[in-house]
């Protein structure tokens, strides 16, 4: 896929359908040319009518009718092509963008809200395609209006001059309007993005909102965002209306002058009646010409904005993709080593305006804050052992697992799997080596079986049942009417927190990787369920390397080695009994939890 300067754009996708796009353009040109035909033949027909040449008048009326019919047919074909290919092209763009979204790294996701992605992947491409098709129609109309205007201008030089001056003034006016419009349109998009993101979050956190009564506060935030949107929208539209109406006034005035002039010219027999009728149509053509010219301009601006925003997703400066090596190695032992590892979280903000609020040409990223988590961290986990990391909240446990699975990339030092630097491993080798069960796993709105098949698409029913048994959720699944074919709702809404965790564990177990990471994976479980998961983890013992992160110390009693983490440093390590004996803090933590 093209990157950075090798720029991908909406036009790349249109080029793939060159033939159809050209056909669409030609059909629209023919449709527009029909307008010229209709105008000329109608003018002739009316002129013959006034001279009582009825048969000629009828002939010209019929010709006009013929052009009208042709135009309808062209428009119909144009609609059909648009309806079919706009969807085809749009889905190609959407698909590529979704694929790109999969490639982005976790840091990028942490630095952007969900609204950003929804807007850029779904809404912006749709807007852009619609605008492009509009432009084709507009340009063809502009051409036909232009032809008519040139004809009218040639009838009389004074009328020609008036038309020329009006067009020049209107174009300058439009250029100015566009500059202002561009600025406001971007603001409108941005506020829209914020609303999208907030709405997504509100929908996802509905229970939290109710449980701690966040309705009022969130309504306030919503109101603030909608107000910002409203303000930007109104500003954009009021300014637009102002420009629009003043420009139209200019056209009206020019129209009246031309009309009066036309009457005088007919009176003095300087032009024939048919020419006057065409001059009479001047108003419509000039109006259409300027109107469409302005529209094309603003559509082009909107396409430019959308294009920039959409394909920014491919810009490594702002949306960073995951990088993999090309070493295709089967990590069979599952030995993990951290060598002098350091890691700092960095929060960036995209700066697109200068201090005065003016848009800058090249937006850039600015570091807003950073949190150092690890510096010079060293440890080694032997193959097929069970190791635990304990420590207070915020001590770096989850970050450690993210580095181990390369969700985040170390700033310094190395993470080695079976002695190979994790950065050198191919995507395939890395992903097949490690499974990570998150603290808050995401369960898809599919059936239980489908959720598990995501992990291993050719898993047999036996394997699925075994994984469910090992994750201590099999009995629960049996109580459901539809068993493994029960749908779980978005993010497993139909499950309890503990059940979700167990489905996630089953999902991970199915992958059968040599390393399995559990991040507080039993935190939502009651003692009974926790005990059964402990049993299944015990079953894995000696077969896979298991890393457990837990704040409940009772869950990791049987770990071979426990590392005690404090503010990103390993302050102690040993078996449970050893730590219990030698580390007062560890002992206090354990006793506090078992009161």
Which spans of this chain sit near ligand ADP (rule: CB under 6 A)? Answer: 110, 345, 371, 373, 391, 393-399
358's CB contacts (< 8 A; 6+ apart) are: none
Q: Which of ligand ADP, Mg ion, none lies near 288, with the C-beta cut-off 5 to 8 A by kind?
A: none
Question: Taking the complex as a whole, how short is the minimal distance between the CB of residue 107 and ligand ADP, in angstroms?
Answer: 8
Question: In the chain, count of helices (H) and strands (E)?
Answer: 20, 10
Question: Taking the complex as a whole, how short is the minimal distance between the CB of residue 379 and Mg ion, in angstroms?
Answer: 18
| Strand partners for 569 | 566
The count of residues interacting with Mg ion (CB under 5 A) is 1
Question: Taking the complex as a whole, how short is the minimal distance between the CB of residue 397 and Mg ion, in angstroms?
Answer: 5
What are the φ/ψ torsions at residue 389 (nearest 5 degrees)?
-115, 125
With CB under 5 A as the contact rule, which of the stretches 22-30, 93-101, 355-363, 392-400 interacts with Mg ion? 392-400
| Strand partners for 425 | 327
| Strand partners for 570 | 565
Does 405 bind Mg ion (CB under 5 A)? Our answer is: no
- Nearer to ligand ADP by Cβ, of 334 and 396: the residue is 396
Q: Which of Mg ion, ligand ADP, none lies near 192, with the C-beta cut-off 5 to 8 A by kind?
A: none
CB contact at 8 A, 104 and 319: yes
Instruction: Kindly give the residue spans of alpha helices, DSSP state H, lying in 51-104.
Output: 54-103
- Nearer to ligand ADP by Cβ, of 393 and 460: the residue is 393
Structure tokens at 241: 């209306």
CA-based R_g, the chain, Å: 34
- Nearer to Mg ion by Cβ, of 470 and 520: the residue is 520
Question: Taking the complex as a whole, how short is the minimal distance between the CB of residue 548 and Mg ion, in angstroms?
Answer: 12
Question: Taking the complex as a whole, how short is the minimal distance between the CB of residue 565 and Mg ion, in angstroms?
Answer: 11
Binding mask 111-130 for Mg ion (x = CB under 5 A): --------------------
Question: Taking the complex as a whole, how short is the minimal distance between the CB of residue 438 and ligand ADP, in angstroms?
Answer: 11
DSSP codes, 477-542: HHHSTTGGG-B--GGGTTS-HHHHHHHHHHHHHHH--SEEEEESTTTT--HHHHHHHHHHHHHHBT
Q: Which of ligand ADP, Mg ion, none lies near 262, with the C-beta cut-off 5 to 8 A by kind?
A: none
Question: Taking the complex as a whole, how short is the minimal distance between the CB of residue 563 and ligand ADP, in angstroms?
Answer: 12
**CB-based burial, 566-590: b 16+ in 10 Å, e otherwise:** eebebebbbebeebbeebeebeebb
Torsion angle in degrees (nearest 10) through CA of 388, 425, 441, 99: 170
Question: Taking the complex as a whole, how short is the minimal distance between the CB of residue 519 and Mg ion, in angstroms?
Answer: 6
- Nearer to Mg ion by Cβ, of 178 and 399: the residue is 399
Query: Do β-strands 569-574 and 561-566 pair in parallel, antiparallel, or remain unpaired?
Result: antiparallel
Length of the chain: 595
For residue 363, what is the DSSP state? E
- Nearer to ligand ADP by Cβ, of 566 and 578: the residue is 566
Q: Which of ligand ADP, Mg ion, none lies near 513, with the C-beta cut-off 5 to 8 A by kind?
A: none
Maximal C-alpha separation, the chain:
118
Q: Which of Mg ion, ligand ADP, none lies near 38, with the C-beta cut-off 5 to 8 A by kind?
A: none
Question: Taking the complex as a whole, how short is the minimal distance between the CB of residue 373 and ligand ADP, in angstroms?
Answer: 5
With CB under 5 A as the contact rule, which of the stretches 228-236, 310-318, 390-398, 417-425 interacts with Mg ion? 390-398
- Nearer to Mg ion by Cβ, of 114 and 439: the residue is 439
For residue 321, what is the DSSP state? B
CB contact at 8 A, 167 and 289: yes
SS3 per residue for 112-144: CCHHHHHHHHHHHHHHHHHHHHHHHHHHHHHHH
Q: Which of Mg ion, ligand ADP, none lies near 395, with the C-beta cut-off 5 to 8 A by kind?
A: ligand ADP
Q: Which helix (H) or strand (E) holds 160?
A: helix 157-204
- Nearer to ligand ADP by Cβ, of 422 and 459: the residue is 422
Q: Which of Mg ion, ligand ADP, none lies near 497, with the C-beta cut-off 5 to 8 A by kind?
A: none
Q: Shortest CA distance to 404 belongs to which of 99, 425, 522?
A: 425
Does 398 bind Mg ion (CB under 5 A)? Our answer is: yes
Question: Taking the complex as a whole, how short is the minimal distance between the CB of residue 551 and ligand ADP, in angstroms?
Answer: 8
Question: Taking the complex as a whole, how short is the minimal distance between the CB of residue 396 and Mg ion, in angstroms?
Answer: 8
Q: Which of Mg ion, ligand ADP, none lies near 110, with the C-beta cut-off 5 to 8 A by kind?
A: ligand ADP
538's CB contacts (< 8 A; 6+ apart) are: 558
With CB under 5 A as the contact rule, which of the stretches 280-288, 323-331, 397-405, 575-583 interacts with Mg ion? 397-405
Q: How far apart are CA 150 and CA 163, in angstroms?
A: 9
Q: Which of Mg ion, ligand ADP, none lies near 440, with the C-beta cut-off 5 to 8 A by kind?
A: none
List contacts with Mg ion (CB under 5 A).
398
């Amino acid at each position: 896929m093209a990157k950075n300067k090798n720029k991908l754009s909406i036009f790349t996708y249109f080029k793939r359908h060159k033939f159809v796009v050209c056909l669409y353009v030609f059909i629209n040109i023919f449709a527009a040319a029909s307008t010229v035909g209709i105008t000329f033949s109608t003018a002739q027909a009316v002129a013959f009518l006034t001279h009582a040449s009825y048969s000629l008048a009828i002939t010209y009326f019929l010709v006009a009718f013929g052009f009208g019919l042709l135009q309808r047919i062209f428009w119909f074909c144009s609609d059909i092509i648009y309806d079919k290919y706009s969807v085809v092209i749009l889905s190609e763009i959407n698909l590529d963008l979704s694929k790109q979204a999969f490639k982005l790294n976790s840091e990028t996701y942490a630095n952007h809200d969900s609204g950003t992605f929804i807007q850029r992947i779904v809404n912006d491409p749709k807007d852009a395609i619609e605008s492009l098709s509009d432009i084709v129609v507009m340009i063809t109309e502009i051409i036909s209006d232009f032809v008519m205007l040139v004809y009218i201008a040639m009838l009389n030089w004074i009328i020609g001059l008036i038309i020329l001056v009006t067009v020049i003034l209107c174009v300058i006016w439009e250029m100015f309007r566009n500059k202002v419009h561009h600025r406001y349109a971007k603001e409108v998009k941005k506020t829209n993005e914020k609303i999208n993101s907030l709405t997504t979050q509100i929908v996802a956190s509905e229970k939290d909102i109710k449980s701690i009564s966040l309705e009022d506060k969130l309504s306030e935030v919503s109101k603030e965002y909608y107000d910002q949107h409203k303000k930007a929208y109104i500003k954009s539209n009021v300014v637009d209306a102002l420009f629009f109406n003043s420009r139209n006034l200019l056209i009206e005035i020019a129209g009246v002058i031309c009309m009066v002039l036309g009457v005088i010219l007919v009176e003095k027999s300087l032009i024939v009646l048919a020419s006057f009728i065409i001059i009479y149509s001047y108003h419509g053509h000039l109006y259409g010409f300027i109107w469409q010219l302005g529209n094309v301009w603003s559509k082009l601006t909107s396409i430019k904005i959308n294009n920039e925003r959409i394909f920014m997703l491919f810009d490594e400066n702002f949306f960073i993709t995951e990088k993999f090596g090309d070493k295709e190695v089967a990590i069979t032992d599952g030995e993990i080593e951290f060598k002098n590892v350091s890691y700092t979280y960095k929060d960036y903000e995209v700066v697109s305006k200068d201090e005065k609020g003016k848009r800058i040409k090249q937006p850039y990223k600015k570091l807003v804050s950073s949190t150092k988590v690890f510096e010079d961290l060293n440890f080694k986990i032997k193959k097929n052992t069970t190791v635990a990391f304990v420590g207070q909240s915020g001590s770096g446990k989850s970050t450690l697992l993210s580095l181990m699975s390369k969700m985040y990339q170390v700033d310094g030092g190395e993470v080695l799997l079976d002695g190979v630097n994790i950065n050198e491993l191919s995507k395939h080798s890395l992903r097949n080596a490690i499974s990570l069960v998150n603290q808050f796993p995401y369960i898809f709105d599919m059936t239980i079986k489908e959720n598990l098949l995501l992990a291993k698409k050719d898993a047999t029913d036996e394997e699925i049942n075994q994984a469910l048994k090992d994750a201590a959720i099999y009995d629960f699944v049996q109580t459901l009417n539809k068993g493994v074919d029960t749908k779980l709702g978005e993010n497993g809404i139909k499950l309890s927190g503990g059940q979700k965790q167990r489905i996630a564990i089953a999902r991970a177990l199915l992958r059968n990787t040599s390393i399995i990471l559990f991040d507080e994976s039993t935190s939502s479980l009651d003692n009974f369920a926790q005990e059964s998961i402990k049993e299944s983890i015990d079953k894995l013992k000696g077969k896979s390397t298991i890393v457990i992160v837990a704040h409940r110390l009772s869950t990791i009693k049987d770990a071979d080695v426990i590392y005690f983490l404090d503010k990103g440093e390993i302050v102690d390590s040993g078996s449970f009994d050893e730590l219990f004996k030698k580390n007062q803090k560890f002992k206090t933590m354990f006793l506090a939890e078992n009161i």
